[in-house]
Structure 1
Amino acid sequence: MAAVYFARDEELGRAVAVKVLAEQLAGDDTFRERFLREARVAARLSHPNIVSVFDAGEDDGRPYIVMEYVEGSTLADELQRRERFTPAEAVDVGLQTCAGLTCAHEAGLVHRDVKPGNLLRRTDGVVKIADFGIARAAETTQLTMIGTVLGTAAYLSPEQAAGEQVTAAADLYSLGVVLYELLTGRTPHTFDSLTDLAKQREAPIAPIRELAVEVPEALEDVVMRCLARNPAYRPASAAELARELEAASPEASTRPMTAETARMPSAGGRRIADRRLWLALAAAVALIGVVLAFALPRHDSGPSTPAVQPVRPGSSPAERARNLAAWLRDHSG
């Protein structure tokens, strides 16, 4: 569908990748316009797990996009060399992909073509999602080669394959297929034609542990839930899927959770936490009263003692609590 060239941005002194659409696709006006529009939407996404889009335009009638250059390989290339990933590696890929998808979904953009060929892994292990916007543009044209269709169809959600409305749940299904393949070395359905695919989609999917016994049951359950035919039975969001993968991981994650996957507490949770903080502050104030009763100078006997310094103010409840704790340490005993 496109050719990718390594180039250098002389203005900013950085390596970039330039994707130029094939001539037969460039000749389709509807595709060209939609491709450029979707590429510009993708350019607004900024996330460490998404390949950045720097520019989009046309040159001699050929649409192109200028993207971040990622030094590494696609997961498709890695699968050809290794066949399968360890459960811990698969979870790591899933967590990073979920972080990127959360950013895109919150911006109203569904990828529609999550597959190993669109997931790049840098030499340092960072995973980046590529080709946001291109898949949606491709849906408007019939100029796609059958090999490309077959290569993509294995990762399409049932609703997407049926031409129904596509939501973020479709990306979670596709990611589930990717994780299944990383763990077992094959996709849930294997086929040689689109007719075979239609038949296989009605057949049950082989449980992961039948093909890879080393995969923990909890991880198998999470991935199989992503592959539910009914979108309502899949995880509610990419952030929820990330939390489930984290809980099912055979090893503790070595990567810090991002803002997308490590959400702030709910409003109810915040209210409970705030109430507990204020109760603690109230108890501390009461304790200060007791301490002051013994620490303040007395006028009925002996020489006076130095006045007790007040508690330092704070800009937030948490800072005020810390200042109270420090004051108590300094003035007790």
Structure 2
Amino acid sequence: METEAPQEEVKLKRIRSLPSPEKPIQANHCLCLTSAEGKTILNPRYEILSTIYDQPASPSRVLLVKDTETDSLVILKQLLKCKILSQAQRVSAVREIEIHQSVSHLNIVTFYDSGETEEAYNMLLEYLPGYTYFTDKIEVNNKPFNLKSDGGVQKLKSFSYDVIQGLEYLHSHGIIHLDLKPGNLLLYTDVDENEYPLVKICDFGLSRRADATGYAIIEKKCGTDKYVPPEVTDGAMISVAADMWSLGLLLHNLAVGYTPHAMKWSPGKPIPFHNRHWRKYEGTGLKEFIEACLRLNPEERIASRDALLHPWLSFNQ
């Protein structure tokens, strides 16, 4: 027999009381310098501590490093040239750096500096303790929110708000993230005891800038399978609506532990919300919000600016 979960403790949302910076955060970092031989090298002030990510098939390598001048930890992300095998990949590497270094927002991982060496394109980024997958870090063993008594609806609203705030900033600057998924959302935990952690968007490896018409052309289908919108195909024109589709699937997964595909759902069909899985969210607006994100026609999906006003993000419920 199911028992009613204890009432969760409602915490404050720090982001609601702080302005979002529009100018790049000033930081005294210098990732690269010129050696005596005239070559561009990594600044030796950054001491490599460990490897966080390094897979044979991927050109990306993520390292945890210490800034020996400030004794602080930062992330060094490298795009290794020996694994970049085409002009398209080189363009993508340069584009990732250009886009990420142009943005500054509380809900986006901070970009400090970049530099190109003979071996790699390098980025120095903000370090968040436990730099790992979003669901692994926030919810132990990936237990979905609908089964949690200590951090259910209000915490999920808080995380939703953070992600949408970040997306609205990107979208208002014509940037399509194009790879929104749990693994690209990190947690900032240095908050007061009565505040929820802050969620930050990372990894702009697939991002695009929309043109004056609001669209960008992608050469090949890309993204993470279960979060890829139906319009993302080879040679497609896409808009910021692609991110809202991924957001809908992300929230579905966080809420109940699976995406609607597990229920043999196909895009364009009604989403099968089984009552026993969604009882905790009745009256919150979450199901309606997910439906608004997962409309087959991109032009009919809820926009990030409108999402911030949706009843799902009301902290009174």
Give the TM bin, normalised by the shorter chain: 0.5 to 0.7
| Shift in CA distance, 11/62, structure 1 to aligned 2, threshold 3 Å | same
- Distance in structure 2 (CA, Å) of the matches to 1:112 and 1:140: 13
**Which residue is equivalent to 1:84?**
144
Structure 2 residue aligned with 1:168, among 240, 243, 250? 240
After superposition, where does 1:251-266 map in structure 2 within 5 Å?
A: 251-252=315-316
Q: Which has the higher helix share?
A: 1
1:156 aligns with 2:156: no
- Distance in structure 2 (CA, Å) of the matches to 1:233 and 1:210: 29
Q: Which has the higher strand share?
A: 2
Identity of aligned residues (%): 28
Q: Give the TM-score, by structure 2 length.
A: 0.65
For 1:252, the aligned partner's letter is: N
- Distance in structure 1 (CA, Å) of the matches to 2:257 and 2:90: 36
- For residues 90-109 of structure 1, the C-alpha deviation after alignment (integer angstroms, 9 at most, x for no partner) is 21111111111111112221
**Which residue is equivalent to 1:214?**
280
- Distance in structure 1 (CA, Å) of the matches to 2:312 and 2:165: 17
Structure having the higher Rg = 1
| Shift in CA distance, 38/208, structure 1 to aligned 2, threshold 3 Å | farther
- For residues 250-283 of structure 1, the C-alpha deviation after alignment (integer angstroms, 9 at most, x for no partner) is 7439xxxxxxxxxxxxxxxxxxxxxxxxxxxxxx
| Shift in CA distance, 109/12, structure 1 to aligned 2, threshold 3 Å | farther
Q: Secondary structure at the match of 2:308?
A: helix
After superposition, where does 1:250-289 map in structure 2 within 5 Å?
A: 251-252=315-316
1:177 aligns with 2:249: yes
Deviation at 1:190, TM superposition (A): 3.7
Q: Secondary structure at the match of 1:158?
A: coil
Residues 36 and 56 in structure 1, CA contact (< 8 A), matched pair in contact too: no
1:135 aligns with 2:222: no
| Shift in CA distance, 95/249, structure 1 to aligned 2, threshold 3 Å | closer
Deviation at 1:161, TM superposition (A): 4.2
- Distance in structure 2 (CA, Å) of the matches to 1:30 and 1:230: 29
For 1:212, the aligned partner's letter is: W
Structure 1 residue aligned with 2:99, among 24, 34, 41? 41
Q: Unpaired runs of 5+ in structure 1?
A: 192-196, 254-333
Q: Unpaired runs of 5+ in structure 2?
A: 1-57, 146-151, 192-196, 209-217
Residues 84 and 183 in structure 1, CA contact (< 8 A), matched pair in contact too: yes
Deviation at 1:212, TM superposition (A): 2.3
- For residues 111-166 of structure 1, the C-alpha deviation after alignment (integer angstroms, 9 at most, x for no partner) is 0000000000122411000012x1138x6679x9xxxx6xx111111112465212
Q: Secondary structure at the match of 1:15?
A: strand
After superposition, where does 1:168-317 map in structure 2 within 5 Å?
A: 168-190=240-262, 200-201=266-267, 204-207=270-273, 209=275, 211-217=277-283, 218-235=285-302, 237-244=303-310, 247-249=311-313, 251-252=315-316
- Distance in structure 2 (CA, Å) of the matches to 1:130 and 1:105: 15
**Which residue is equivalent to 1:100?**
166
Q: Secondary structure at the match of 2:114?
A: strand
Deviation at 1:24, TM superposition (A): 5.7
For 2:75, the aligned partner's letter is: A
Deviation at 1:231, TM superposition (A): 1.4
- After superposition, the CA RMSD in angstroms is 2.9
